Chains A and B, each alone.
Chain A
């Protein structure tokens, strides 16, 4: 087990800057997720840690060892590939044993490790089957098994669940989490799915265009997104944004978005006081708005027109408009919102986020 550290790591493919000055340290035993939209450089970053891609600049450490010039096989990491990359001509047992045999692990030890992995992953009855005789989920477990038996310093997983159907993905997600709680091997997990990232990551590195946007716990990403990109990327449906301006007094700054004015949430008040008059973007999550009733928290209330209602059983997703601005809210299903009607929506006082319109960064606390 070990830490993994990237210092100023950069990767260029011709003109494309796939990873741009990436700095981060994965703690020992940590489960860290790289998340970001397609093409943001997640896979490239992971492959550089594995040694399958040589970085254009920067240093990579696994444990205390600088591994820049260490061959993939000597980096003491195991990788789970998106398409599993099982050896098609070997049965499950041989797939698991291949890497161990080449590392001259003893026969008895190989058997012990395979039995262990088979038990953890429920592969016992599949050991003699070839990959093509397995279902997608079973192949995925074999791929994880092949990483486990190596007992490496770190696991690297590149979208290992993306080939599974929705239900199996959720189930396997939980299994991988359980597995990590049990063996606690340092893990870097790549996904483009923010739900997967939020549910699995102890910390999450959000990437965009090769640049690390924010590295934080799921709660922190949700509660205190560092910039507009993270705010829009984390959370589903995405946060609503309104363009506006800081007005009011230094003691009580407000964001004026034209249609309404709302108090700057308390953590950002000090920064807003120093920025009176500047252009900002005000963001509020769909799940944080309420239909006003007696017990609603303090905030500003607007009369919104209901455009579309998506009924989900446990809640409704309601697309609203305010003059020409549209946004959406999540409301309890029993609201029975009517399309075309008007509803009084309260934006609670401290639930918003204020971003500088030019730098797109959150106003500093």
Chain B
């Protein structure tokens, strides 16, 4: 005790030397102490914390992106890894490719119609599921299923349901007299296949859209909705003039977000049709995969997948700007 207190009055330097000489501090805690001291500097601590995120972005996002960007102007392919510069040849090629043009149109049709249908059905469902009724919890839980089932399993189930020979839809349909015996070949005809792809995509995305809308609607204070009801606003007016404007920030972000992700998504198409029949249901992402990975033409594949990059970039910038302006408010 006496010794400890006498140490305390000594200059700090001397005290520390004496302490380490007397009883060596374990090396681990000495390192710990040094790191701890380094972390006292805010910038060291800050950069250390953010390092994993930066590393992740550089290695898995930025690097592949620039590689792909370089591929678009080369003749790179799986058989010819040392590629030569070809300028804009790849872009000219794909532009003259009918399947590409079809895929481009399909991408827009697919994205926009999925979004519109999801928004429409999601709104209705959100209101229905927000109402109190018997068994609401069970219905809600069932409703979430498409969202929780892995896409691959969901899509395979669908492809069986839409299969020309085993289709349960056709079996039921023809038995109740909706159409004659074999029934439509859902995935085998151009338009039906496209419709099927969109339907399955909506099936997959609808729960999330609905949950998002439910969250938005619940976020509007009940008092405001009641005030509007007293102000003689009917259901539609309350939705249109009160709820939508109030949750617009959420809606806007959600919409942009899902547009961007739909534009670059190939899962449902690939799992359900692989772009068939005769390459009529490809979207850009699935066609890029087909050309670039399956057929091995890396240059053209990269060109296809980056074709809409400028559009998406603008969308992303708008999105970030908007988020920032909301924060500053």
Show the binding face of A for B, using Cβ within 8 Å: 50, 52, 72-73, 77-79, 81-83, 85-89, 98-99, 102-103, 146, 150
Would A99 and B242 count as touching, CB distance under 8 A?
no
Report the minimum CB–CB distance from A93 to chain B (whole Å).
14
- Interface residue B214 (Cβ < 8 Å from any Cβ of A): no
Q: Which of B221, B229, B237, B242 contacts A72 (CB 8 A)?
A: B229
Q: Which of A77, A85, A103 contacts B221 (CB 8 A)?
A: A85
Would A85 and B232 count as touching, CB distance under 8 A?
no
Q: Convert B207-246 into 0s and 1s, putting 1 for each residue whose CB lies closer than 8 angstroms to a CB of A.
A: 0000000000000010110111111110001000110011
Residues of A with C-beta under 8 A to B237: 102
Would B224 and A85 count as touching, CB distance under 8 A?
yes
Q: What is the CA–CA distance of A103 and B237 in the complex, to the nearest angstrom?
A: 12
Q: What is the CA–CA distance of A50 and B232 in the complex, to the nearest angstrom?
A: 13
Residues of B with C-beta under 8 A to A98: 228, 231, 233, 241
Q: What is the CA–CA distance of A88 and B227 in the complex, to the nearest angstrom?
A: 12
Report the minimum CB–CB distance from A267 to chain B (whole Å).
45
Q: Which of A52, A82, A83, A146 contacts B229 (CB 8 A)?
A: A52
Residues of B with C-beta under 8 A to A83: 221, 223
Show the binding face of B for A, using Cβ within 8 Å: 221, 223-224, 226-233, 237, 241-242, 245-246, 248
Nearest residue (CB) in A for B223 is A85
Q: What is the CA–CA distance of A86 and B242 in the complex, to the nearest angstrom?
A: 10
Q: Which of B221, B232, B245, B248 contacts A99 (CB 8 A)?
A: B232
Would A73 and B230 count as touching, CB distance under 8 A?
yes
Residues of A with C-beta under 8 A to B230: 50, 52, 72-73, 77-79, 99
Report the minimum CB–CB distance from B308 to chain A (whole Å).
33
From B229, B230, B231, B246, name the one whose CB has the most chain A CB atoms within 10 angstroms.
Answer: B230
Closest 7 CB pairs of A and B: A99-B231, A85-B223, A85-B227, A73-B232, A89-B245, A102-B232, A81-B223
Report the minimum CB–CB distance from B188 to chain A (whole Å).
49
Report the minimum CB–CB distance from B236 to chain A (whole Å).
11
Would B232 and A81 count as touching, CB distance under 8 A?
no
Nearest residue (CB) in B for A150 is B231
Residues of B with C-beta under 8 A to A85: 221, 223-224, 226-227
Residues of B with C-beta under 8 A to A150: 231
Residues of B with C-beta under 8 A to A79: 226-227, 230
The number of A-B residue pairs with CB atoms under 8 Å apart is: 55
Nearest residue (CB) in A for B245 is A89
Q: What is the CA–CA distance of A85 and B227 in the complex, to the nearest angstrom?
A: 7
Report the minimum CB–CB distance from B251 to chain A (whole Å).
13
Q: Which of A77, A81, A89 contacts B227 (CB 8 A)?
A: A81
Q: What is the CA–CA distance of A89 and B233 in the complex, to the nearest angstrom?
A: 16
Q: What is the CA–CA distance of A41 and B81 in the complex, to the nearest angstrom?
A: 79
From A72, A83, A85, A88, name the one whose CB has the most chain B CB atoms within 10 angstroms.
Answer: A85
From B224, B227, B242, name the one whose CB has the most chain A CB atoms within 10 angstroms.
Answer: B227
Q: Which of B229, B231, B246 contacts A89 (CB 8 A)?
A: B246
Residues of B with C-beta under 8 A to A89: 245-246, 248
From B223, B229, B232, B233, name the one whose CB has the most chain A CB atoms within 10 angstroms.
Answer: B232
Residues of B with C-beta under 8 A to A52: 226, 229-230
Residues of A with C-beta under 8 A to B227: 79, 81, 85-87, 146
Q: What is the CA–CA distance of A72 and B225 in the complex, to the nearest angstrom?
A: 12
Q: What is the CA–CA distance of A146 and B223 in the complex, to the nearest angstrom?
A: 14
Would A102 and B226 count as touching, CB distance under 8 A?
no
Report the minimum CB–CB distance from A260 to chain B (whole Å).
53
21 A–B contacts from the bound complex (CB under 8 Å): A50-B230, A52-B226, A72-B226, A73-B229, A77-B230, A79-B227, A81-B223, A81-B226, A81-B227, A85-B223, A85-B224, A85-B226, A86-B224, A87-B228, A87-B242, A89-B245, A89-B248, A98-B228, A99-B230, A102-B237, A146-B227
Residues of A with C-beta under 8 A to B221: 83, 85
Q: What is the CA–CA distance of A78 and B221 in the complex, to the nearest angstrom?
A: 18
Q: What is the CA–CA distance of A85 and B242 in the complex, to the nearest angstrom?
A: 11
Residues of A with C-beta under 8 A to B228: 87, 98
Residues of A with C-beta under 8 A to B229: 52, 72-73
Q: What is the CA–CA distance of A89 and B249 in the complex, to the nearest angstrom?
A: 11
Would A73 and B231 count as touching, CB distance under 8 A?
yes
Q: Which of A82, A88, A102 contacts B231 (CB 8 A)?
A: A102
Q: What is the CA–CA distance of A81 and B221 in the complex, to the nearest angstrom?
A: 12
Q: What is the CA–CA distance of A81 and B242 in the complex, to the nearest angstrom?
A: 17
Sample of 6 further A-B pairs with CB below 8 A, known A77-B230, A85-B224: A52-B230, A83-B221, A87-B246, A88-B246, A102-B231, A102-B233
Q: What is the CA–CA distance of A83 and B228 in the complex, to the nearest angstrom?
A: 14
Residues of B with C-beta under 8 A to A77: 230
Q: What is the CA–CA distance of A98 and B221 in the complex, to the nearest angstrom?
A: 18
Q: What is the CA–CA distance of A79 and B223 in the complex, to the nearest angstrom?
A: 10
Nearest residue (CB) in B for A100 is B231
Residues of A with C-beta under 8 A to B245: 89
Q: What is the CA–CA distance of A110 and B16 in the complex, to the nearest angstrom?
A: 81
Residues of B with C-beta under 8 A to A88: 224, 246
Q: What is the CA–CA distance of A83 and B223 in the complex, to the nearest angstrom?
A: 8
Q: What is the CA–CA distance of A146 and B228 in the complex, to the nearest angstrom?
A: 11
Residues of A with C-beta under 8 A to B248: 89
Nearest residue (CB) in B for A84 is B223
Q: What is the CA–CA distance of A100 and B226 in the complex, to the nearest angstrom?
A: 16
Q: What is the CA–CA distance of A339 and B232 in the complex, to the nearest angstrom?
A: 62
Q: What is the CA–CA distance of A102 and B232 in the complex, to the nearest angstrom?
A: 6
Report the minimum CB–CB distance from A166 to chain B (whole Å).
24
Nearest residue (CB) in B for A94 is B241
Q: What is the CA–CA distance of A220 and B228 in the complex, to the nearest angstrom?
A: 39
Q: Which of B223, B232, B242, B246 contacts A103 (CB 8 A)?
A: B232
Report the minimum CB–CB distance from B96 to chain A (whole Å).
49
Residues of A with C-beta under 8 A to B233: 73, 98, 102
Report the minimum CB–CB distance from A33 to chain B (whole Å).
21
Residues of B with C-beta under 8 A to A86: 224, 227
Nearest residue (CB) in A for B233 is A102
Report the minimum CB–CB distance from A275 to chain B (whole Å).
50
Residues of A with C-beta under 8 A to B241: 98
